[in-house]
Amino acid sequence: MLIERERYVLGQIAAGVPLTQVLEDLLRAVEAQASGQMLTSILFLSEDGRHLRHGAAPSLPVAYNEAIDGITIGEGVGSCGTAATRGSAVYVSDINTDPLWKDFRDLALDHGLRACWSTPIKAADGSVLGTFAIYYSEPRTPTTADLDAIAFVTQTAALAIERHRSDLKLRRSQDELRALNAELEEQVAKRTAERNVLATMIESTDIMVMAVGLDYTILAINNANADEFERIYGVRPRAGDNMLELLAGQPDQQAQVRAAWGRGLAGEEVTVIEEYGDPDRVQPYYEIKFRTLRNECGERIGCYHFVTDVTERLREQAALAQAQEALRQSQKMEAVGQLTGGVAHDFNNLLTVIKSSTDLLKRPNLPEERRARYVAAISDTVDRAAKLTSQLLAFARRQALKPETFDAGQAVHVLSDMVRTLTGTRIEIITYLPDEPCFISADPSQFDTALINIVVNARDAMDGEGQITITVEPTETMPAVRRHAAIKAPYVAISIADTGSGIPSDQIDQIFEPFFTTKGVGHGTGLGLSQVFGFVKQSGGQVIVESEVGQGTTFTLYLPRVIAAPGVAAPEEETTEDGYGTCVLVVEDNRDVGTFVTQTLEELGYRTTWVENAQAALDKLAASPGAHDIVFSDVVMPGMNGVELARHVQRLYPDLPLILTSGYSHVLAEGGHGFELLQKPYSVEALSRVLRKASRKLRKRAQAK
């Protein structure tokens, strides 16, 4: 009978009858065969193993079932909670007196329950699945028949519960598998659609695409690439072909393929421009981008390339570059013509002063006071000519900067009077200077020139009337400018702001270009702001321009700040005596200059020997060792130049002082290559000073020996 009932229960489970209904039918059958008023229940142990949940109790009061649903198992938690905790049967004959029921006694008695026998339902592995309980309305102990019924129910319930859970897991697995299959099919369909779209895009473009394995086997290739490959090599490739085998009879082409693909297959991601095709014909240029090809594991399995025919683009770029260069040359020649006229005009004015002064100096019986005035005029005019030359060299970015440490605020204060004279009375000049010195290291003359150039532009932008504000202040940061990041370092900011017409935004980036000017012909060469830019850059700074049309413009020069003024070194002991027997070897290829220099040196008390080239100087030194105390040489001469001569002298006669002189911008920019350099044009005092310095060094060496 019990075996048939067990088979019936398992058959219901297999037929898909809900577990609760199966268990309730099982419990009703047990209750029907019992002697006395038997009430039964099955509780399930929760997945966390801590609570008992309602399973089946066809005859127990509903309120009682609801009250114990979800109780936490433990020792002393009635018969069921204790049995689930212990893993063994708990038989309580009298609920009213048993301590296991002290917390649930009233609940049980209120529902007419006096005895409760609970047995754990165990799985095949011994784990607790739940509990089976038998209740009676009067105190009672289990009989043999009761124990047989308990064993049958717990065994059958265990089989039913395990079978149900297995079926449930299977259904869940099947549902998950179906969901995964559906998702996979969706992904495959999506990937297939994407691949089809990508393939269509690749095939419809003129860009050539090909993927190649590490052994040069073609993994994929589009028609554009296949067409071009066939045009170049005479054979049409397909996926699966090996490129080297396709070109087995063409060793030169094989080598070309290896050279082209070798770097990409080695793992490099490069872009190259190459010529391909018949060398006897016009060869097209291709831009080839090689990229690494990897599998799902990230392993390198080859590479692929994108190829674009850039022949026409390169031709257009070359033609554009030629046109731009021609335009630049045309514009530059036009500007050079304007510049030449302006410079010639200035020099003619200077020469007029010099010529007039020399003519007046020739007059007999000229009073000494007037003679001194004419000599001073000549000297001042030469200085002005030298400044004009210096500005031209600054434009060439090769001016000989002579950095000095000075207070920028004091320099602006001194310059302000000159600026007021330059701008006229209708323009108000306002200066804001710091209380503390702002020391910078720069060429003072070029600093003044840069400020004057900006002021002149401001004056012209205001049509001779307005306000110019010059501000000097220390700052710890130079803002970002022209693709350069901001720099945190000590700087001095010198700002020149005007109330003029402003600069259009489309011209801001051009204003520092040489020869660029918005002024009419004859009113500007475009050198001023170019000089500003060159000076600031060579001084280690930057210049920032802010402008709004109709509102004015502000130029801010950021120059590196020297935190403290360096101490002034004690001057060397200097004698006012000049030559007094010192022999100078003069090397000068220009006869007029050579004659003037030798006469000047002789006036200063030096003995001189004059030669016209470097080789003659070396010959003279070799012929008369020790006869010459100083070598004074021009730099730019036919044959061996002055720098080369200086190196020979330094090597052959290391104790012989040598002074170079030049007016060429590239020589001045290079600072004499480490030798003493006197810049042309120079005064007699400057010449005397460098010679005295050389003489002192010569005497010190002699004393040391």
Tell me: the pLDDT tens digits for 517-568? 655 444 444 456 777 887 888 888 988 999 888 889 999 999 999 876 444 4
Residue 542 CA to residue 534 CA, distance in Å, equals 10
Q: What is the pLDDT of residue 703?
A: 67
The pLDDT assigned to 45 comes to 93
User: Residue 120: pLDDT band by 50, 70, 90 thresholds?
Assistant: very high
In this prediction, residue 525 carries a pLDDT of 42
Whether 194 has a pLDDT exceeding 70, the answer reads no
User: Which of the two residues, 353 and 314, has the higher pLDDT score?
Assistant: 314
pLDDT of 201 > 70? The answer is: no
Strand order in the sheet with 630-634: 607-611, 583-587, 630-634, 658-662, 676-679
Among 142-156, 165-179, 333-347, 486-500, the least confident range: 333-347
Starting from the edge strand earliest in sequence, which strands make up the sheet with 466-478, in order? Answer: 427-432, 466-478, 487-498, 552-560, 542-548
With beta carbons less than 8 A apart as the criterion, state whether 443 and 539 touch: yes
Give pLDDT, residue 523: 43
**How high is the pLDDT of residue 392?**
56
Q: Could you tell me the pLDDT band of residue 395, with boundaries at 50, 70 and 90?
A: very low
What are residue 90's DSSP bridge partners? 118
Average the pLDDT over 590-605 and give the result: 87
285: tokens are 């240029």
Residue 81 phi/psi, 5-degree rounding, is: -60, -35
Q: Which secondary-structure segment (H or E) carries 553?
A: strand 552-560
Highest mean pLDDT among 131-140, 177-186, 422-431, 689-698: 131-140
pLDDT greater at residue 174 or residue 277: 174
* pLDDT attached to residue 344: 64
Closest by CA position to 121, among listed 66, 85, 176, 158:
158
Span 323-339, pLDDT tens digits:
766 655 554 454 445 44
Separation CA 281–CA 277 (nearest Å): 8
pLDDT at 215: 93
Q: What is the pLDDT of residue 56?
A: 93
Mean pLDDT of the chain: 82
652-659: average pLDDT: 90
**537, 549 in Cβ contact below 8 A?**
no
Least confident of 296-300, 431-435, 664-668: 664-668
Q: Are 122 and 154 in contact (CB under 8 A)?
A: yes
Written as one letter, the residue type at 211 is: A
pLDDT at 393: 56
Which range (40-49, 289-298, 337-346, 676-685) has the least confidence? 337-346
Q: Which pLDDT does position 345 carry in this prediction?
A: 56
Q: What pLDDT is stored for residue 133 in this prediction? A: 95
Task: Give the pLDDT confidence of 402-430 residue by residue, as tens digits.
Answer: 678 899 999 898 777 667 766 777 889 99
Share of residues in the chain with pLDDT > 70 (%): 83
| Residue 242 predicted with pLDDT over 50 | yes
C-alpha separations of 201 from 197, 198, 229, 237, 288 in Å: 6, 5, 20, 20, 19
pLDDT at 470: 95
Query: What is the structure's pLDDT at 61?
Result: 94
Task: Report the pLDDT value the prediction gives residue 326, as an integer from 0 to 100.
Answer: 67
> Mapping DSSP to helix (H, G, I), strand (E, B) and coil, where does residue 203 land?
helix
The answer to whether residue 100 scores a pLDDT higher than 90 is yes
pLDDT of residue 335: 44
Whole-model pTM above 0.85? Answer: no
Confidence grade of residue 572 (pLDDT, cut at 50, 70, 90): very low
Confidence of residue 114 (pLDDT cuts 50, 70, 90): very high
- When pLDDT is cut at 50, 70 and 90, the band that residue 431 belongs to is very high
| Angle at which helices 444-461 and 408-423 cross, to 10° | 40
Is pLDDT at 475 greater than 50 in this prediction?
yes
Residue 389 has pLDDT above 90, yes or no: no
State residue 397's pLDDT score: 42
Higher pLDDT, 197 or 1: 197
Instruction: Provide the 8-state DSSP code for 519.
Output: S
Do the strands 583-587 and 630-634 form a parallel or antiparallel pair, or are they unpaired? parallel
The mean pLDDT value for 141-158 works out to 89
Q: What is the dihedral of CA 191, 193, 197, 203, to 10 degrees?
A: 90
